[in-house]
Chain A
Amino acid sequence: MHIESSRKKISLFPTILYQFKINEYLIDELKEIILNEYKQWGNSNYISVSSDNQYKREDSCIKEISEILDNEILAILENMKVMRVSHYISGMWHNVSKEPYQHQQHTHPNSFLSGIIYINCPDGCGETIFTDPVSERKVFLPDLFDMNQENSRAFSIKPEKGLVTIFPSWLNHQVNNGTMKSTDLRISTAFNYNLHGNASQLNTARLEY
């Protein structure tokens, strides 16, 4: 058989994650704020607590981190060619957990882009696991002799201090338990972004006016 051209591979409808790192000094400042406050956030007997909304705080490091996020989101939205009047951070909260906490699979409703900043990541802390959004693939799931980014139905991110991962808010994700020491704390900050705009200009189903 004669092939007239080389084999092509076309990736359709990709799910894209964006990553960058924030300077350690900002992360250390934020970590100090969180460690001073997290015991007031909930039941100290439980193995995980979360803060309430933090993005309007005046602390300099939170302000500075918010500005960094605003700029990165701007670049991502430009890259995605999303029409809008503006974008804005609609939520930011901190999570502190001990072993063997598991954060169930979830999405971030009523947001366009969401993200995680890893603040404190002891050895063995639970990875963030994103799962395949294409439910139709479950119709036929053959065993795989080797897994990679194209054929896997889950993708894990190993937490790393200062690493930021931004993802579409509809993408299911979870954190499984890890193998940290019982005294270790896994700390992360999560955030949501949304869009302002006119319905006639936007393709998204989730808008705030």
Chain B
Amino acid sequence: MKDQEKKIEQSVIFGDCIWSQDINPNDTDIDNDNLIDYAYEVYRKESKVKKSNRLGFQSSSLPTPSQESDSRLKPLLTEVVSFAQSICYDQLYKNAEESGLIFGVDAWVNINQKYAYNQPHIHGGNTLLSLVYYAQTPENCGNFYLTREDSRVDLISRFKIDDFFPMAPQIHYKPTAGKLLATPGWVTHGVEQNLSDEDRISFAFNINLMQNNNNEPSEKEEQKVNTYAY
């Protein structure tokens, strides 16, 4: 049999995705130094919430509508919305605009000091996409990891599978300053302990899809998640 006749074809079924984009400072107004300043200002002034964060700081929701958000955050918000719209409109919901689907965005700051980490969790509610932008990522500050839910992966996890093979039980991403990542909100993820002496700083976003006008969130829901439509 000739080699070409033996070719095995492989198709991934029922996969989840991770989307990423490197932000080029020359192409946008995003300034990491400004974002780090803003993160520490939020840390000093705003209340901390306890969600998946252990030993680290997670802010409550930041003001996200363009007209009210901090000028240091605004360029990043614009990029995040554009990134999420590209994923949704180009790939997931090609008829989103005709269907009247609109975006809600919720944003917060994470500062993980030495030994801080985030427990595995999902982003619940109607979160379609969870995004993270890395502003400061010293060496050994803790990888971002995603975990499969299927319990049968135990069967394969004893054996070494390439980290990025679609059947891998867990995937680890080394965070890099200037990178934007997005995953579906239902994928379980966490952050390893920060073993660096410096802080790991990231901005996180939830993208919620809503139906324009007909199914707007109630006032109560809007206050709870600080969600605004774009």
Could you tell me which A residues sit within 8 Å of B by CB distance? Answer: 47, 100-102, 104-105, 107, 109-110, 131, 133, 135, 138, 141, 169-170, 174, 176-177, 205-206
Neighbour of A102 across the interface among B155, B157, B186, B193, CB < 8 A? B193
A107 pairs with B54, CB closer than 8 A: no
B223 CB to closest chain A CB (Å) equals 15
- Complex contact B155–A206 (CB within 8 A): yes
Name B residues whose Cβ lies closer than 8 Å to a Cβ of A: 54-55, 115, 117, 119-120, 122, 124, 147, 149, 151-152, 154-155, 157-158, 186, 190, 192-193
Could you tell me the distance between the alpha carbons of A135 and B190 in the complex, rounded to whole angstroms?
A: 16
Task: Note all chain B residues with C-beta closer than 8 A to A102.
Answer: 54, 115, 117, 193
**Residues B186 and A138 in contact, CB atoms below 8 Å apart:** yes
Across the interface, name the chain B residue whose C-beta is closest to A174: B119
Partner of B152, one of A105, A133, A205: A205
Q: Which residues of B contact A109 (CB under 8 A)?
A: 154-155, 157-158
User: What 6 A-B pairs have minimum CB-CB distances, sorted nearest first?
Assistant: A135-B149, A109-B154, A109-B158, A110-B158, A100-B115, A109-B157
B119 & A176 in contact (Cβ 8 Å cutoff): yes
A142 to B224, CA, bound (A): 14
Which residue of A100, A105, A107, A176 contacts B154 across the interface (Cβ within 8 Å)? A107
User: Which A residues lie within 8 Å of B186 (CB)?
Assistant: 138
Q: What does DSSP make chain B's interface, helix, strand, loop or mixed? A: loop
Q: A135–B54 Cα gap in the complex (Å)? A: 23
Q: List 27 A-B contacts (CB under 8 A).
A: A100-B115, A101-B193, A102-B54, A102-B115, A102-B117, A102-B193, A104-B190, A104-B192, A105-B120, A105-B190, A109-B154, A109-B155, A109-B158, A110-B154, A110-B155, A131-B120, A133-B151, A135-B149, A138-B122, A141-B124, A170-B151, A174-B119, A174-B120, A176-B119, A177-B54, A177-B115, A205-B155
What is the CA–CA distance of A13 and B112 in the complex, to the nearest angstrom?
38
Residues of chain B with a CB closer than 8 A to A133's CB: 151
Interchain CA distance A119-B62 in the complex, whole Å:
45
Query: In whole angstroms, what is the CA distance A110 to B169 when docked?
Result: 14
Q: Which of A47, A101, A138, A141 has the most chain B CB atoms closer than 10 A to its own CB?
A: A138
User: Given A100-B55, A104-B192, do A170 and B154 touch, yes or no (CB 8 Å)?
Assistant: yes
- Which residue of the partner chain, among A131, A169, A176, A205, contacts B54 with CB atoms under 8 Å? A176
Please report the C-alpha to C-alpha distance between residue A169 and residue B157 in the assembled complex, in whole angstroms. 13
A170 and B163 alpha carbons, distance in the complex (Å) = 21
Which chain B residues lie closer than 8 Å to A141 at the CB level? Answer: 124
Residues of B within 8 A of A131 (CB): 120
- The distance in angstroms between the C-alpha atoms of A105 and B54, with both chains bound, is 14
